Amino acid sequence: MKKVIFVCIHNSGRSQMAEAFANTLGKGILVAESAGTLPGNDLNPMAVKAMEELGYGMKSHHPKLMTEEMVKTADKIISMGCGVDAAACPVRFLVTEDWGLDDPKDQPIEKVREIRDAIKLRVEALINDYREASQE
């Protein structure tokens, strides 16, 4: 089983949504964690609300710092948008892929839904890639 780390600066929105989608939709194919380079104190309430609209609870999630152990055990490290604020992304040299997604912080729910939906599509594509690779 593959291990994927989703990273964003505060680990309060994008990476948390990606982790929730990946661990549910990719069960048996991959295991996901999320982390931040400067983790916040709480999850973005709009991200939590947007995920609850699709039936994904994130009440047990909390922002956490990316660790060396996470990096060592990961098959892939995906930044949710280091390009959004490259100066705050000291792990950009470890990133396998950057999805370049907008930050949902201080965004209205409509924009957060767009970001959520983009994350879901990318996570589904990632899962399909791993599924296809395992069948080769």
Residues with catalytic function: 8, 82, 89
Exposure string over 92-126, b if 16+ CB within 10 A, otherwise e: beebeebbebbbbbebeeeebbebbebbbebbeeb
Phi and psi torsions of 76, nearest 5°:
-150, 140
Q: Positive or negative CA dihedral for 6, 8, 11, 17?
A: negative
Q: Which residue has the tokens 């899962």?
A: 127
- Give CA–CA dist 123/128, Å, rounded: 9
CA–CA distance from 105 to each of 24, 50, 102 (Å)?
24, 13, 9
